[in-house]
Amino acid sequence: MRVIIAEKPSLARAIADALPGSARRQEGLIQCGETTVTWCLGHLLEQAPPEAYDPTDKQWRLDRLPIVPIAWQLTPKPKARGQLSVIRRLLKQASHVVHAGDPDREGQLLVQEVIEYLKYRGPVERLLVSDLNRPAVVRALSQLQSNQAFQPLYRAAEARARADWLYGINLTRAWTLTGRQAGFDGVLSVGRVQTPVLGLIVRRDNAIRDFTPYPFYPLWVDIGVEHGTLRAWWAPNAAQPLDDQGRLIDRAPADALAVRLPGARGTLAKLDQQEKRQNAPLPYSLSALQVDAARRHGLSAQQVLDICQRLYEQHTLITYPRSDCRYLPEGHFSGMQNTLTQACANDDTLRQWCRSADFSRRSKAWNDKQVGAHHALAPTGKPADFTRLSATEGHVFRLIARNVLAQFYPPLRTFEVKAEFSILGEAFRARGQSVLDPGWKPLFTTREEAPPLPPLTLNAPCHVIDTGVETRETRPPEPFTDASLIKAMMNIARYVDDPEVRRTLRDTDGLGTEATRAGIIETLVQRGYLVRQQKALRATRLGTALIAALPRAVSTPERTALWEQRLGAIADNRDDAQAFQQALVEDLNALLRQSDAGKLKQSLQSAQGEEGAPAKRSVRKRKSGANAKSGARRKSNGRAKSGRKTPN
């Protein structure tokens, strides 16, 4: 008997529907002739607690840290024992097994750890399903591979699970016990991803709190040229009192120049005119979709993930959603016209966009070299019944369909002009843009980035019609939102100080994974470290205090992002899981030596005294870890308050 083990019931049903013959459903399985399909319910197993290795470690004690198992153990989750018994019985009868976990690192771990825990020793094949529609599943069933080819992926997933356990258990116990010494009666959860994410928010909140605004003074001129007028902005030279962004911070030079400018004549000294082509945005990965859905529809990252799971499992309208890829297989190109035509048939806007698409156009999105275990999110071709979708499900489906449709539209073609005028020996700059062909742009927005300039000729004369000096004020950085935090986690290298590490991280997947980023944010909220204030994510007093007390290395992204890089190397068979764990244990020993009750007490007291900080939330006790220069120049990272943009 062949036994297929799916990651979840929805996948099991899709596989059973794609098998020949009639299906007979029983408790925990579906019988299809000589094949039995069963399923996991997410993870059926979890890492055993510390006391499973040594009963002494049931009590939390600093002198027992670090806890490092010699022979790792898994234990069934309490609610999973029934389904685990079903799989155990089937494996005893199986002639061979098909592993049908999701096509990613975690999916490989989830099913294979069950197979190994139940000590099955027969042949195992691998089924990769990224689209629950019947034709796609039938195709996948005809392309089974040996599970042996996926062992590096399994080792990477196993190394990740064990490393998370080591990091979370040991650091959570250490700082919780230190917290008790400091007078805090609660669990201080530390995790290898959640804590750096919290650190990002705390440092942003601190920058906002500590920001001191100051004024700056852009000077504009309305210039007459041969074929019209335009507005340009003074570009003061380095001899003027400027901040680090080239903004004038003393009004006197601007006022003095403004008095001399009316009626003054000059010439167009520099002219840069060029046509630019911009291809459509690629289809979505999950994180890219979460960013756009948050901005356009105000959805949290977790809401987008949950919606995508329903669109994938319940409605079967989209392909596998937890993807980090923004490219599509080349083999899908020929059938995409039919897929999109059917998928978009019940929405007026999508249907019109589909009619206007040129399905002979092949964008760079079709690239097998960029597709790994997953491809970008795309419609499956099943017609979307919007009467059965919630409003938010409809919004998310339309975004996914739109980005794939955009691949069949021509590039956006613009004519961009940058001009620099020389008047009274000073430089004044203007820029404009005219749209030659909107291409894909109307699917996204009709807003122009910059108005067009009148026709210009290099060295042509000009004269000043009017001028003025504005008073603006720098603004602090914006607090993080779901959209900006997900984007920060995707592009974590921007938040790394070390230039060597930053270069290393530029091409990695960032902080967390597509499947975990939304959950990390929600975990921080649930544990009382973050609160949502309208769309903003702000650190609570407790979250702020924890980051202040932890070693900086724990709350910055370098370590965990490098973890992901090394786990990727293990998955590619370029690194060793045991060496990775040994390096982590050495790291843990160094971090544990830095726990300081006095520092933590001071941090908690300081955070409690902050005016305007969100109130501390109670934390449930847990027994396991959580997965300006002086003088003329001044420096500031502040932004300009509202007003016309000043070109740099």
Q: Are residues 312 and 381 in the same domain?
A: yes
Of 154, 284, 312, 320, the catalytic one is 320
Question: By the 8 A CB rule, do 616 and 608 touch?
Answer: yes
- Confidence bin at 637 (pLDDT 50/70/90): very low
Mean of pLDDT values over 482-491: 92
Q: How far is CA 362 from CA 328, 333, 358, 441, in A?
A: 11, 8, 9, 17
Q: What is the CATH number of the domain that holds 54?
A: 3.40.50.140
* pLDDT for res 631: 36
pLDDT tens column, 605-624: 877 654 334 434 333 333 33
Q: Are residues 45 and 129 in the same domain?
A: yes
Burial class (CB in 10 A: 0-12, 13-18, 19+), 425: exposed
Pick from 429, 458, 475: which residue ends a domain? 475
Q: Are residues 357 and 420 in the same domain?
A: no
The Cα–Cα gap between 138 and 96 comes to 19
- Confidence bin at 491 (pLDDT 50/70/90): confident
Q: Are residues 248 and 203 in the same domain?
A: no
* pLDDT for res 527: 93
Q: Are residues 399 and 504 in the same domain?
A: no
* pLDDT for 437 beyond 60: yes
* pLDDT for res 404: 98
The length of the chain, given as a count of residues: 648
The Cα–Cα gap between 546 and 524 comes to 12
Mean of pLDDT values over 257-263: 97
Q: Are residues 375 and 491 in the same domain?
A: no
Q: Cα torsion for 5, 11, 12, 17, to the nearest 10°?
A: -140
Does residue 633 fall inside a structural domain? Answer: no
Q: What is the CATH number of the domain that holds 387?
A: 1.10.290.10
Does residue 636 fall inside a structural domain? Answer: no
Q: Are residues 133 and 6 in the same domain?
A: yes
| Number of other residues whose CB lies within 10 A of the CB of residue 28 | 18
Question: By the 8 A CB rule, do 248 and 241 touch?
Answer: yes
Residue 634 φ then ψ, to 5°: -130, 145
* pLDDT for res 53: 97
- Confidence bin at 504 (pLDDT 50/70/90): low
Q: What is the CATH number of the domain that holds 566?
A: 1.10.460.10
Mean of pLDDT values over 258-268: 97
DSSP collapsed to 3 states, 320-367: CCCCCCCCECHHHCCCHHHHHHHHCCCCHHHHHHHHHCCCCCCCCCEC
Closest CA to 322 of 305, 302, 300: 305
Does residue 111 fall inside a structural domain? Answer: yes
* pLDDT for 14 beyond 70: yes
Q: Are residues 219 and 203 in the same domain?
A: no
When divided into structural domains, the chain yields a total of 4
Does residue 642 fall inside a structural domain? Answer: no
Q: Are residues 491 and 603 in the same domain?
A: yes
Q: Are residues 199 and 294 in the same domain?
A: no
Pick from 426, 449, 475: which residue ends a domain? 475
The Cα–Cα gap between 415 and 634 comes to 36
- Confidence bin at 363 (pLDDT 50/70/90): very high
Mean of pLDDT values over 19-41: 93
- Confidence bin at 625 (pLDDT 50/70/90): very low
Mean of pLDDT values over 562-582: 89
* pLDDT for 628 beyond 50: no
Does residue 639 fall inside a structural domain? Answer: no
Mean of pLDDT values over 162-171: 96
Q: Are residues 328 and 438 in the same domain?
A: no
* pLDDT for res 608: 63
Active site residue 320: yes
Question: By the 8 A CB rule, do 35 and 17 touch?
Answer: no
Q: What is the mean pLDDT of the chain?
A: 90
Token pair 């500590």: residue: 210
* pLDDT for res 641: 45
Does residue 437 fall inside a structural domain? Answer: yes
Q: How far is CA 95 from CA 92, 98, 110, 482, in A?
A: 9, 10, 21, 48
* pLDDT for 293 beyond 60: yes
Mean of pLDDT values over 191-195: 92
* pLDDT for res 416: 96
* Pairing of the two strands 96-100 and 124-126: parallel
* pLDDT for res 21: 85
* pLDDT for res 451: 85
Does residue 625 fall inside a structural domain? Answer: no
* pLDDT for res 627: 36
Does residue 466 fall inside a structural domain? Answer: yes
Domain range spanning residue 352? 286-408
Q: Are residues 132 and 245 in the same domain?
A: no
Task: End-to-end CA distance of the chain: give it in Å, rounded.
Answer: 70
The Cα–Cα gap between 262 and 264 comes to 6
- Confidence bin at 133 (pLDDT 50/70/90): confident
- Confidence bin at 563 (pLDDT 50/70/90): confident
pLDDT tens column, 47-69: 999 999 999 999 999 999 999 99
pLDDT tens column, 377-419: 999 999 999 999 999 999 999 999 999 999 999 999 999 999 9
Pick from 351, 373, 408: which residue ends a domain? 408
Q: What is the CATH number of the domain that holds 432?
A: 2.70.20.10
* pLDDT for res 86: 96
Q: Sign of dihedral through CA atoms 518, 520, 526, 529?
A: negative
